[in-house]
Amino acid sequence: MEAKAVARQVRVSPIKVRRVLALIKGKKADDALSILKYSPQKSARLVGKVLQSAVANAEHNFGMDTDKLHVVAATADQGPRMKRFRPVSMGRAHPYIHRTSHVTVVVAER
């Protein structure tokens, strides 16, 4: 039995989120939360919230034991991209793309 949680349209690029997700894949849920707590990245806070939600879903919806939970899968897919412009000298503007991501964390008992 697996429980999952998804955070959609998170305003961090998927590349940055994947670096943090690589730290927690395959780890126990408690260990993963402690790793994320002391990681300096902004995306670590967001992934921590998703992991806590997945653990809560496992406990309340499926009656799993939280001490036996492991992170089975963690993915960051690309969300919608926002096109923005940054003003520069001489009245010009340079375009840039603000990327978002969809973060999914799946936990299961072992």
Q: Is the pTM of this model over 0.85?
A: yes
pLDDT single digits (tens) 1-38: 899 999 999 999 999 999 999 999 999 999 999 999 99
For 49-96, write each residue's pLDDT tens digit: 999 999 999 999 999 999 999 999 999 999 999 999 999 999 999 999
In order of their start, the domains of the chain are 2-109 (3.90.470.10)
C-beta separation of 106 from 98 below 8 A:
no
Give the whole-angstrom CA distance, residue 13 versus residue 101: 6
Cα angle: 72, vertex 75, 79; to 5 degrees = 155
Closest CA to 107 of 19, 38, 47, 40: 47
